[in-house]
Amino acid sequence: MIRIVRFANSVATAEVLFELYKAQLYPATVLELLKFGVEYPDEQLRLPIIALGSAWNLNGESVVPFLGNAAGRRTLAFTCFWGTWDNTCRFAAIAK
């Protein structure tokens, strides 16, 4: 079962991964994220949902997939893996 995790403040990727580990969760993969999007299509219209468990090298930059919206339409896009996430970002996670 996928859990959605959100932080009250801005948080770095390393902090997200550490907090997930402490909560005995692991970051969802793109397949798990897509399954969540099919089951709960309106969730991504509220705030983005990121899958840190699937990272790729795209033109020399590490990126991860996320479900979001553009002008009210559901989207799957990619964003930089490293950096700081603001409190509007949510993370898909799976119980260990």
pLDDT in tens, 1-60: 899 999 999 999 999 999 999 999 999 999 999 999 999 999 999 999 999 999 999 889
Give the span between the Cα atoms of 37 and 56, in whole angstroms. Answer: 20
Give percent of the chain with pLDDT exceeding 70.
100
Rounded to the nearest angstrom, the gap between the alpha carbon of residue 60 and the centroid of all alpha carbons in its chain is 20
Residue 83 in this model has a pLDDT that exceeds 90: no
For residue 14, give its domain range: 2-95
Tell me the percentage of the chain whose pLDDT exceeds 90. 93
The whole-chain average pLDDT of the chain stands at: 96
Rounded Cα–Cα distance for residues 63 and 77 (Å): 10
Q: What is the pLDDT of residue 90?
A: 98
Is residue 9 classed exposed, middle or buried when 0-12, 13-18 and 19+ CB atoms within 10 A define those classes?
exposed
Give how many domains the chain has, as a whole number.
1
Per-residue model confidence (pLDDT) at position 1: 87
**Rounded-to-integer distance, Cα 38 and Cα 57, Å:** 26
